[in-house]
């Protein structure tokens, strides 16, 4: 747990260098993403309960398996995502096989056995969640890393959870897979317009706005048409 602001946490995970999040209000808390299987999800739930006993809601930053397959142990709860969120049934098979090939049968089995919890609440461009004394704003800036990227803003602390729009120290794996990379810099520009002090990436340690601006320049250098 890294407390990036009062009651706002980045939660770091060893597998895939994943970062999930927690925002605590007076009445409820919001969990930002869950790990890639039910075993890791249960561990996340236990860790959160060490911080707060308050009921939770969950929000998905996007639909890649490592950001939502672990939600089952947190049920029952509301689950938020952008309206473009879609479940790709082939992704479970692909990643289970990849872990078997990598000699990690336990992770492969956990993925195969995880209950997949699809969203109960969706939004188009913007939605607010009241946690009691604290409002969190969900924003969709268009397709970029995926077609359903959700940025979670905590305005009272100028903290933003960016999902895989931002990764630290650099983009990893198949980060440019199924979104629209030509529109990614515009999404980061919109994120920077929120004037964040702290940005929690989908993978890696929290960063600042300067780091995000640097990753935007990397994308523009690779895809000049994205300017």
CATH number at residue 124: 3.60.15.10
Per-residue pLDDT for 172 more than 80? no
Nearest to 95 by CA among 146, 35, 53: 35
d(CA 130, CA 28): 8
Say which residue the tokens 């890696």 belong to.
204
**3-state secondary structure at position 127:** strand
Structural domain of 204: 2-226
What distances in angstroms separate CA 151 from CA 41, 110, 132, 194, one per listed residue? 21, 28, 20, 10
Q: How do residues 21-49 score in pLDDT, each as one tens digit?
A: 999 999 999 999 999 999 999 999 999 99
Whole-number pLDDT of residue 170: 81
Q: pLDDT band for position 136 (50/70/90)?
A: very high
Residue 70, number of CB atoms within 10 A of its CB: 31
Q: How do residues 55-98 score in pLDDT, each as one tens digit?
A: 999 999 999 999 999 999 999 999 999 999 999 889 999 999 99
**Number of folded domains in the chain?**
1
pTM for the full predicted model: 0.95
Whole-number pLDDT of residue 109: 98
36 touches 18 (CB < 8 A): yes
Whole-number pLDDT of residue 89: 86
Phi-psi region of 173 (alpha: psi -120 to 50; beta: other; left: phi over 0): left
Whole-number pLDDT of residue 177: 61
């Amino acid at each position: 747990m890294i407390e990036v602001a009062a009651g706002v946490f980045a939660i770091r995970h060893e597998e895939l260098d994943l970062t999930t999040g927690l925002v605590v209000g007076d009445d409820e808390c919001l969990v930002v993403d869950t790990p890639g299987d039910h075993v890791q999800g249960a561990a996340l739930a236990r860790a959160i309960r060490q911080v707060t006993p308050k009921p939770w809601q969950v929000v998905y930053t996007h639909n890649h398996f490592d950001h939502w397959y672990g939600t089952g142990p947190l049920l029952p709860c509301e689950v938020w995502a952008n309206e473009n969120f879609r479940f790709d049934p082939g992704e479970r098979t692909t990643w289970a096989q990849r872990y078997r090939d990598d000699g990690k049968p336990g992770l492969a089995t956990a993925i195969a056995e995880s209950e997949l919890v699809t969203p109960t609440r969706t939004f188009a461009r913007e939605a607010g969640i009241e946690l009691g004394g604290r409002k969190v704003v969900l924003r969709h800036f268009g397709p970029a890393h995926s077609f359903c990227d959700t940025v979670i803003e905590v305005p009272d602390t100028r903290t933003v959870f960016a999902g895989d729009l931002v990764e630290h120290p650099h983009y990893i794996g198949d980060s440019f897979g199924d979104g629209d990379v030509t529109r990614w810099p515009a999404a980061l520009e919109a994120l920077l317009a929120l004037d964040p002090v702290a940005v929690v990436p989908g993978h890696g340690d929290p960063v600042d706005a300067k780091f995000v601006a640097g990753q935007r320049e990397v994308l523009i250098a690779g895809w000049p048409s994205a300017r």
